A = this chain, B = another copy of it.
Amino acid sequence: MEYEELQELTEKTLELLTAKNFREIKALINDLQPQDSALLLEELNEKDILPVFRLLSKENAAETFVEMSYDSQELLLNTFSDAELKAVFDEMFLDDTVDIIEEMPANVVKRIIKQSDAETRNMINEILKYPKDSAGTIMTVEYVSLRKNMTVQECFNRIRQVAVDKETIYNCYVTDDKRKLIGTVTVKDLLLHEYETPISEFMETDVISVEATDDKEFAAQQISKYDLSALPVVDSENRMVGIVTVDDVLDVMEQEATEDISIMAAVTPSTDTYMEQSVWQIWKNRIPWLLILMISATFTGLIINKFEGNLNALSPLLFACIPMLMDTGGNAGSQASVTVIRGLALDEIRPRDALKVLWKELRVSAMLAACLAVVCFGKLYLLDGLAFGYDYTWYICLAVSLSLFATVVLAKTVGCLMPLLAKACRLDPAVVASPFITTIVDALSLIIFCLISMAILPPFLAAA
């Protein structure tokens, strides 16, 4: 649904609300996809949400509720009667229930758990026990399980019986009497075999599965790598405990990419969207990094203080080149570090590739640095020197260009090695992305610049 369409629907709903024409609102809102009715509800005032939500059919109500933001869910949960709360959660798949429970404050969670039947309550508690970000927390326990002595016909009968309550029926899991996973059968396999064939004849026994305590990102990678639509989750003894479906994986992948991007930009990641976060939350996610980086950057200042006299004595024009040197070093370093960080995240680069990566970056950086140094020399000497009339003599330009060359090579080296080092130490490589590398490279490039200038310039100045 486009934004314009949503605006129109919202206006129409508000008009109907004023006219108290609930019948038409009911027809209108029940006709939408749950994702769209959720968007429509979020456009309304707090006081209008509940009356409109009550017009949704039982099934639509649950599906719409799942698609709403955590804030709106909390608002609704606080105004629901116990019966309404029970009706919504009874229709929901267990993984969605767990998702919501994880985000709600304790008093709301208590009410939800109180309204569930004993079996659901047990399953919720089981799932809540898995470690944060593990496959167990995103799995659903509503899958179809079969026995290996069943025939195709018997399987179809079973699927027909249970299909309504299961999130996916196309992948079925064959377990033994100890609930151990021994094979998988797809509905496609079933359709391609005669009704009387026992499934043991064609079930896939080479099953790709993950353990419930594995990282959810690993589960996502397995689904993406092997093009699965669902992945069985087992315990440490290969007993089936649930499945992770591909739609959950899409969310995980989106979240992980957002997290990496946030960390690379020196922001603590948040599960809320930017528009949902309060000013205070955003401040909290940004201030620690800015402070750390600012304090580290002041040490660069100490380097300048130390060399200032010498540089000024050589030529005051040298100062003007410091921002260009620092920026180019920072950019060169972040190109390398971000590329390596993304490669590590996608498992295209591994820590054991460190030497190969280094060798590649050394060659690339030499080529880049040579090109930049030549252009920089030309720009300073011809444009700033001859055209603009600043006193950029050829030996000053040489000192700057040589420093630029060294800075770029060094920045690339630091930039590619730091994420690999972080990964090898089991830290998140994204943390050492551009801002941190920029700070390190800044200090190093200043030292290089001062040393090179002090080595090259004095003889020429003495001669002049």
- Which residues in A have some Cβ–Cβ distance to B below 8 Å? 3, 31, 33, 35, 156, 159-160, 163-164, 169-170, 187-188, 191-192, 206, 208, 223-227, 229, 246-247, 249-251, 253-254, 257-258, 260-262, 264-267, 273-275, 279, 282-283, 286-287, 289-291, 293-295, 297-298, 300-302, 304-305, 308, 312, 316-317, 319-324, 326-328, 330-332, 334-335, 337-340, 342-343, 346, 348-350, 352-353, 356-357, 360, 363-364, 367-368, 371-372, 375-376, 379-380, 384, 388, 390, 404, 408, 434-435, 438-439, 442, 446
Contacts and interface: CB of A to CB of B under 8 A. Distances in A.
B298 A380 contact: yes
A289 B251 CA distance: 32
A321 B337 CA distance: 26
A326 B31 CA distance: 54
Nearest to A404: B294
Contacts of A247: 224, 227, 229, 246
Given A160-B192, A331-B266, A35 B294 contact: no
Nearest to A309: B316
Greatest chain B CB density within 10 A among A156, A301, A337 is at: A301
Contact of A342 (B262, B346, B371): B262
Contacts of A283: 364, 367-368
A246 B265 contact: no
- 3 A-B pairs with the lowest CB-CB distances in the bound complex, closest first: A265-B338, A301-B320, A257-B257
Given A273-B348, A356-B275, A323 B308 contact: no
A282 B339 CA distance: 10
Contact of A267 (B294, B326, B339): B339
Given A290-B328, A290-B368, A290-B372, 9 more contacts: A160-B191, A258-B346, A261-B264, A262-B338, A267-B335, A267-B338, A273-B349, A282-B360, A298-B321
Main secondary structure, interface of A, reads helix
A231 B415 CA distance: 41
Contacts of A320: 301-302, 304-305, 308
B208 A33 contact: yes
A404 B291 CA distance: 12
Nearest to A260: B261
Contacts of A316: 308, 312
Given A35-B225, A208-B33, A262-B338, A372 B302 contact: no
Contact of A293 (B275, B304, B331): B331
Contacts of A301: 320-324, 384
Contacts of A324: 294, 297-298, 300-301
Contacts of A192: 160, 163-164
Contacts of A339: 262, 265, 267, 274
A159 B364 contact: no
A192 B159 CA distance: 9
A343 B390 CA distance: 45
Contacts of A266: 331, 334-335
Contacts of A279: 360, 363-364, 367
A199 B322 CA distance: 73
A15 B334 CA distance: 43
Given A321-B301, A327-B297, A265 B434 contact: yes
A372 B261 CA distance: 23
Given A297-B323, A348-B274, A188 B208 contact: no
Contacts of A253: 250, 253-254, 257
